[in-house]
Amino acid sequence: MEKTMLNQEIDRIQNTQLRETLIAYFNHVVPDYFWTIPSSSSGKYHSSFDSGEGGLVRHTKMCVLVAEELLRLEEFNKIDPDCMYAAMLLHDSFKHGKDGRHYRADHPRLAADAWRDFAKAKELPESIAMAITYAIAWHSGQWSGPSTRDNFEKPAAYMAEIKCAHLCDYIASRGFFNKINTL
């Protein structure tokens, strides 16, 4: 897998500063394993299309596609699409932690912390950086563990982003996609 695998998704982002920050983040922060691991180490919580080598990249691409559809809904029409696309591109960037040895239940917090710090260092506007940070931190929704609950509140200003990110990840990871060929 190559980092060019997400070029089409990254190119959706219209804000030049955000797009350049995101590219730098992928080039300098995201662990190399991101490009090769499956979306689920057990295969239990994702569909077969995102299993195997490169599965996490396929899952990430699917999340961006789901975001594009959800952003058409009135409930989410005030969300900046660039922020949601960026959040979906980054939400699982530390799925196996920093070292890549195994799945980490605290990966939403790890990814949110790394993104927040990087965005701040790159002087990305705080409103953009934090919309993405909260969406990443809470993308697991009701399954967000203590590391997220203890480190990230759910500010009212970002509830739409938090809900949308969770729905994108949830829909993109459903096993019912495995039934398509059997219908």
Amino acid type, 26: F
Please, what is the end-to-end C-alpha distance for the chain in angstroms?
Answer: 31
For 98-143, write each residue's pLDDT tens digit. Answer: 988 888 889 999 999 999 999 999 999 999 999 999 999 999 888 8
Number of other residues whose CB lies within 10 A of the CB of residue 179: 10
The tokens of 43 are what?
Answer: 């295969």
pTM: 0.90
User: What is the spatial distance between Cα 74 and Cα 131, in angstroms, rounded to a whole number?
Assistant: 18
User: What is the spatial distance between Cα 150 and Cα 7, in angstroms, rounded to a whole number?
Assistant: 34
In 3D, which of 46, 29, 16 has the Cα closest to residue 178? 46
